[in-house]
Amino acid sequence: MANVAVVGAQWGDEGKGKIVDWLCDRADVVVRFQGGHNAGHTLVVDGKVYKLSLLPSGVVQGKPSVIGNGVVVDPWALLDEIGRIEAQGVKITPDVLMLADNACLILPLHRDIDAARETALGAGKIGTTGRGIGPAYEDKVGRRAIRVADLAEPEALAAKIERLLAHHRALRAGLNLPDVTAEAIAAELLEIAPRILPYARPVWRELDAYRKRGRRILFEGAQGALLDVDHGTYPFVTSSNTVSGQAAAGSGMGPSSVGFVLGIVKAYTTRVGSGPFPTELEDAIGQHLGEKGKEFGVVTGRKRRCGWFDAVLVRQSVAINGIHGIALTKLDVLDGLEKLNICTGYRIGDRVLDYLPASMADQAAITPVYETMDGWSQSTAGARSWKDLPAAAVKYVKRLEELIGAPAAMVSTSPERNDTILMRDPFAG
């Protein structure tokens, strides 16, 4: 049986939470491999809603769940989330949750820098969540981050914090932020350490043992491929690699262990925050998609921008991620629309491109080339087989498959776990 890596193939918010939860039934272990608590997954299980940010979706089912080394971890946010989920009746112990001891931490000073920078950028802001994700990744690659394992070595912590502050003091001064002391940071970390360290371990070793025993591993991505720091709409991206290749690096497993790559694709397109969006609709249809699709961020509550399905972008994601099949979500949001547009190319002057150019100037000049299809008046909500779908809806799905170059392995027709049409079990390879 294959392992499965789940990645968003658009700008995030594609409905990964429901699909990952559905796949958890078939998985033995669930791994988060990048991002931080800027991600938001909503699970609906037996009518009960769980909102997760850092925790892998497997915790809701009591499956062994791993926060990998590719994640940056705010320990206070993690404990807060554990408390919220436990208040809903889900017990989270170190037997269920494993935290990579080589994962880097997000500290309060990272949040300060994140918020101050966004404020200073004004109209040119990136649109971060202000949770310190970017500054924490900067410290990671700058080799000055505090890691989970450092919490177990209080005698060495002071020198590591001083090394970190040698960089941050200048940043804070430039942004008119008050100074912070090494003693204050150390006190905060040492106070929280006993509550975090029970979850910490070399997770690469645990995962290797699961692999050798033939256990099925589900790699759970956050955000989407178009927010990838290398392959996304830079600079309006997140601060980590969100593509499937990061599943290996961010968990400590080799690339051959990643297995089937399942791309989550919404039946239309949304994006949160700033940045290019060729098919964005600022009309009644765009408002309809936002209202019917309940398009508000799980973490921030921010309203999502909505637009037609962009086959150019998804085709690019399919190639970059090596996607074997897609899970198409929110098909029911399109119910009742008389006509549907699909973007099949980008016109820039006298050129028509079949990919998103890296140039910001070119991105700003894009006019989408549309293909129009008939919509359907019948409801697709709750459909669990092809025969339950209107013929026009089936035709729409088939056309998307052709345009993006990947088959639909699953089609989701509501937030409920079992309202899913399965064409191919990703764990079957």
Active site residue 37: no
State yes or no: cis peptide before 202, omega within 30 of 0: no
Distant-in-sequence, close-in-space partners of 292: CB < 8 Å, separation ≥ 6? 333
Whether omega for the bond prior to residue 154 falls within 30 degrees of 0, making it cis, is no
Q: What is the distance of C-alpha 210 from the center of its chain? A: 24
Catalytic member of 37, 41, 110, 324: 41
231 has catalytic annotation: no
What is the CA 176 to chain-centroid distance, rounded? Answer: 32
Shortest CA distance to 369 belongs to which of 302, 311, 428?
311
Please, which residues have CB within 8 angstroms of residue 45's CB and are 6 or more apart in sequence?
Answer: 21, 60, 417
Calpha distance 361→292 (Å, rounded): 33
CA distance 159 to 182: 9
DSSP 58: G
How many Cα neighbours within 13 Å face the side chain of 368? 20
Q: Active-site residue among 13, 74, 101, 419? A: 13
The span from the CA of 76 to the CA of 84, in Å, is 12
199: left (phi over 0), alpha (psi -120 to 50) or beta: alpha
**Gap between the Cα atoms of 270 and 61, Å rounded:** 29
- Do residues 221 and 34 lie in contact, with contact meaning Cβ atoms separated by under 8 Å? yes
CB-CB contact of 306 with 269 (8 Å): yes
Active site residues per annotation: 13, 41
